[in-house]
Chain A
Amino acid sequence: MSPENYVVLAAVLFTIGTVGVLVRRNAIVVFMSIELMLNAANLAFVAFARMQGNLEGQVIAFFVMVVAAAEVVVGLAIIVAIYRSRRSASIDEPNLLKY
């Protein structure tokens, strides 16, 4: 199984994640799509590490996982806070910071 296929898979996953961020209205689904993008990036890193024959890509994948976890914590806290005051999880609703 050549590692290039995994890079292609990572690209496809990344694209699906991007489309999910742009299209879906529910904030939780947007977060899931962001997680998908992050995991796609992880996959790409590991595949490149395999192609290059060293472990640097895998180390960076660890960093990415940590960052993803921290970001999810903060993001979900914000969504919960907004849900509590507005009773809605749509990301289109809070649009007061406009012209």
Chain B
Amino acid sequence: MIGTGAARLSDATDIAPVIQPLAEASGVFSYLWLLLALPLFGAAVLLLGGRRTNKWGPHLAVLMVVAAAVYAVVLLLGLLGRPADDRAIGQTLFEWVFVGGFTAPVALQLDQLSMVFVLLITIVGSLIHIYSLGYMEHDPDRRKFFGYLNLFVAAMLLLVLADNYLLLYVGWEGVGLASYLLIGFWQFKPSAAAAAKKAFVMNRIGDVGLSLAIMLIFVTFGTVVFDEVFAMAGEASESTLTWIGLLLLLAAAGKSAQFPLQAWLLDAMEGPTPVSALIHAATMVTAGVYLIVRSNAIYDGTVFALTTVLVIGVITMFLGAIIASAKDDIKKSLAGSTMSQIGYMVLAAGLGPVGYVFAIFHLLTHGVFKANLFLGAGSVIHGMHDEQDMRRYGALRKVMVITFLSFGSATLAIMGIPPFSGFWSKDSIIHAAFEVSLVAGISGMLAAGLTGFYMTRMFTMTFLGKARWEDDQHPHESKPVMTIPLIILGIGSAFTGMALLYWGNIVDWLVPVTGQRENPLPLPTIAYEGMTLALVLIGAGWAYAMYRRDVPVEAPQDVNILTKAARNSMYDDAINDVLVVQPTYSVSRAFVGIDNRGIDGIVNGLAAFVGGSGERLRRWQSGFARSYALAMVGGAVLVVVILAVVRLP
């Protein structure tokens, strides 16, 4: 798998996942709920406390997340002390739903998979919180910002710590809400408000998939608790499992910005840069991958759904890379990169047991280097006084050294240059892809080449070449509260891969939850790594040559059709408009018409009928007593006649 082969599993080539017994939370684990309570408390104090908390609120928020991170490390040490296939801790907080045969407790489950996520969320989250102290220093609403950030961390932790699908859904919705609040944080900007709405609505479409999947799971298995569902997964029919798998994929596509629900990710860059770092790079968008890998027992029973996952991953991988290659806004280019990298993770998850572990491995390394890239971009934007167009950057390496070095470290990591972290995780995915499908493997390699291209393009346009900014813009390096997280993340980008693989044995760590299979390959591992590296260097060299010298400050208009399409994000908005928005408007207008003319017509017509009849009938009340008397006599005669007729036979 990796050059040295040291990361190959001991001897077996096929290990099934284990339903680990859920140990009761005791000792160091008894405060598991604190992981949720701390950031939730921070959010509550800041958001409910109001302006009184303005001064110390942000610092409290930072403290909450840092405390959670420290406790997460303690929990990790606790788990490490347990035997390898007995690392699942459960803690039931209270019975939430108990209706007839359906129970869904609020219960937390800490196992190997959720542990790595908790570490990623809290540690990277802490660094981003600290960074935000500097980045949002002059924003009058910063207390609200930190409140929302804490809320997001709490919701994401709930998502990964839930022990049943329904509670996961609560966390899922929570991160969606926090994302809406944070993307639209500068709500006075119409573009930001629209972007927040777009993100929420597209997420919602995925959420429909998750709701239907949960319903289907309950109908099939009678329970939504993970361990119980996975234990019974083998007994369900393949078509049922396929449906569940496809619905879960729909949910993951919505949350993780995969095709066809990817259009919101680039607009989500309207939020402040720390938001982009936390939500769209390190954590929220990876929730979809978590869902798929957690549900591996379901996917293992359905080849069709797995293949669909794989195809979606490949499509998005290329889509994101192409878009990233043509965007001039640094954040939008990074967003395209995120889309592409998550495509890698989804691709790996779609390989089945061959790739689950590597999807999570790449998720972890990506979390570190993508947060690094976004925070670095934020530092550049901050230093360039809110200028985001890379065409106006250039030669910033001289003025922002720390940002330059950390960004460089992350760039090397994402391109997959050994020995930086991305190399280990991305090449594991490519290798695993070849074990399953030649097409997937070649796609992974080509996308790696594209990654080399667009990242080098971004790096060159921003930090190298000649300065295209005015002298009076005075770009400057950021304050230590912003650069220290950058340094930490830069070191992480360099070493996390090797550390997780060799020192942390990430493969052996995760195997009890996901299982692992290895198929033999014709060529030795180093051949694949070499080919990938060659493609990456070709891409990088091409970009360097293109952008080193003259970069026009105004984007040239006479470009080929692919570039034009990529600049417009492959026309995703136009396609969504034609396929979804306009038909929905037409249907809506039809219903409004039916309501106005049809239903109102019936009701008004009825009223008119009654009024008209009354208009005509009232003339009987003439006021003449003799007419009334005649009517009475007539009625009496009628009654007598009827009685006579009835009694006649």
Do they bind each other?
A: yes
B633 x A99 contact (CB < 8 A): no
Residues of B613-645 whose CB lies within 8 A of A: 618-619, 621-626, 629-630, 633
Proximity bits, A55-99, B CB within 8 Å = 1, else 0: 000000000000000000000000000000000000110111111
The distance in angstroms between the C-alpha atoms of A97 and B621, with both chains bound, is 8
B630 touches A99 (CB 8 A): no
Q: Which residues of A contact B621 (CB under 8 A)?
A: 97-99
The answer on a CB contact under 8 Å between A91 and B625 is yes
Question: In the complex, A97 Cα to B627 Cα: how many Å?
Answer: 13
CB distance from B112 to the nearest CB of A (A): 87
A26 to B626, CA, bound (A): 11
Bound together, the chains give a CA A97 to CA B622 distance in angstroms of: 8
A28 to chain B, nearest CB (A): 14
Contact A22 B619 (CB under 8 A): no
Shortest beta-carbon distance, A41 to chain B, in Å? 13
The CA of A96 and the CA of B621, in the complex, are separated in Å by 10
Contact B626 A97 (CB under 8 A): no
Contact partner, A95, options B618, B623, B629, B630, Cβ 8 Å: B623
CB distance from A33 to the nearest CB of B (A): 10
Closest to A25 in B: B626
A97→B623 contact, CB < 8 A: yes
Please give, as numbers and ranges, the residues of chain B lying within 8 Å of A96 by CB-CB distance.
623
Whether A43 is near chain B, meaning CB under 8 Å from some CB there, is: no
Return chain A residues, CB-CB under 8 Å to B630. 22
**Interface contact A91-B626, CB-CB below 8 Å:** yes
Which range contains the number of A residues in contact with the other chain? 10 to 19
Contact partners of A99 in chain B: CB under 8 A: 618-619, 621-622
A22 and B622 contact, CB distance less than 8 A:
no
Residue pair A92, B633 in contact (C-beta under 8 Å): no
List A contacts of B629 (CB < 8 A): 21-22
Residues of A within 8 A of B624 (CB): 92, 95
A92 to B625, CA, bound (A): 7
- Residues of chain B from 211 to 234 with CB closer than 8 A to chain A in the complex: none
Residues of B with C-beta under 8 A to A22: 626, 629-630, 633
Closest residue of chain B to A23 (Cβ to Cβ) is B626
Q: Verify B626–A92 contact, CB threshold 8 A.
A: yes
Give, as a whole number of angstroms, the nearest-CB distance from A12 to chain B: 16
Total interface residues in chain B, CB < 8 Å:
11
Output the least CB separation between B83 and chain A (Å): 96
Please measure, in the bound complex, the distance between the C-alpha atom of A99 and the C-alpha atom of B624, giving whole angstroms.
Answer: 11
- Interface members, chain B 99-116 (any A CB < 8 Å): none
A91 partner residues in chain B, CB cutoff 8 A:
625-626
- Complex Cα spacing A14 to B376, Å: 112
Quote the shortest CB–CB distance from A81 to chain B (angstroms): 16
Complex Cα–Cα for A49 and B132 (A): 110
Q: Which residues of chain A are within 8 angstroms of B619 by Cβ–Cβ distance?
A: 99
CB nearest neighbor in A for B624: A95
What's the minimum C-beta distance from A11 to chain B, rounded to whole angstroms?
A: 12
- What is the minimal beta-carbon distance from A88 to any residue of chain B, in angstroms? 14
Query: Chain A contacts of B618 at CB under 8 A?
Result: 99
CB distance from A39 to the nearest CB of B (A): 18
* Residues in B whose Cβ lies below 8 Å from that of A18: 633
**A92 proximity list for chain B (CB < 8 A):** 624-626
Tell me the complex Cα distance, A92–B623, Å.
8
Identity of the chain B residue whose Cβ is nearest the Cβ of A96 in the assembled complex: B623
CB distance from A13 to the nearest CB of B (A): 15
Q: How far is the CA of A99 from the CA of B617 in the complex (A)?
A: 10
CB distance from B250 to the nearest CB of A (A): 66
Residues of chain B within 8 A of A94, CB atoms compared: 623, 625
In the complex, chain B residues 307-332 whose Cβ is within 8 Å of any chain A Cβ? none
- B279 vs chain A, min Cβ distance (A): 72
Q: How far is the CA of A6 from the CA of B327 in the complex (A)?
A: 115
Q: Name A24's closest neighbour in chain B (CB-CB).
A: B626
Shortest C-beta distance, A65 to chain B (Å), equals: 22
Chain A, range 1-50, C-beta contacts under 8 Å to B: 18, 21-22
Once bound together, how far apart are the Cα atoms of A18 and B618, in whole Å? 26
| Contact present for A98 and B633 (CB under 8 Å) | no
**A92 to B622 CA separation, bound complex (whole angstroms):** 11
B619 smallest CB distance to A (angstroms): 6
Residue of B nearest to A91 (CB): B625
Which residues does chain A contribute within 8 Å of B626, judged by CB atoms?
A: 22, 91-92
Q: Is A95 a contact partner of B633 (Cβ separation < 8 A)?
A: no
By a CB distance below 8 angstroms, the chain B residues around A95 are 622-625
| Contact of A98 with B625 in the complex, beta carbons under 8 Å | no
Inter-chain CA distance A21–B619, complex, in Å, is 23
> Most chain-A CB neighbours within 10 Å: which of B619, B623, B633?
B623
Which residues in chain B, 583-629, are within 8 Å of chain A measured between CB atoms?
618-619, 621-626, 629
Which of B618, B624, B625 has most chain A Cβ within 10 Å? Answer: B625
A22 vs B619: C-alpha distance when bound (angstroms): 20
Expressed in whole angstroms, the Cα–Cα distance for A65 and B379 within the complex equals: 112
B611 to chain A, nearest CB (A): 14
Alpha-carbon gap, A22 to B636, bound state (A): 14
Within the assembled complex, what's the spacing in Å between the Cα atoms of A94 and B619?
Answer: 17
Q: How far is the CA of A18 from the CA of B636 in the complex (A)?
A: 12
Q: How far is the CA of A94 from the CA of B623 in the complex (A)?
A: 8
A21 and chain B: residue at smallest CB distance: B629
Q: Which 4 A-B pairs have the closest CB atoms?
A: A98-B623, A95-B623, A99-B618, A99-B621
**Can you list 23 contacts pairing A with B, beta carbon distance less than 8 Å?**
A18-B633, A21-B629, A22-B626, A22-B629, A22-B630, A22-B633, A92-B624, A92-B626, A94-B623, A94-B625, A95-B622, A95-B623, A95-B624, A96-B623, A97-B621, A97-B623, A98-B621, A98-B622, A98-B623, A99-B618, A99-B619, A99-B621, A99-B622
Mark B residues whose CB is within 8 Å of A.
618-619, 621-626, 629-630, 633
Interface residues of A (CB under 8 A from B): 18, 21-22, 91-92, 94-99
Q: Could you list 6 further interchain pairs (A-B, Cβ under 8 angstroms) beyond the known A97-B623, A99-B619?
A: A91-B626, A95-B622, A95-B624, A95-B625, A98-B621, A98-B622
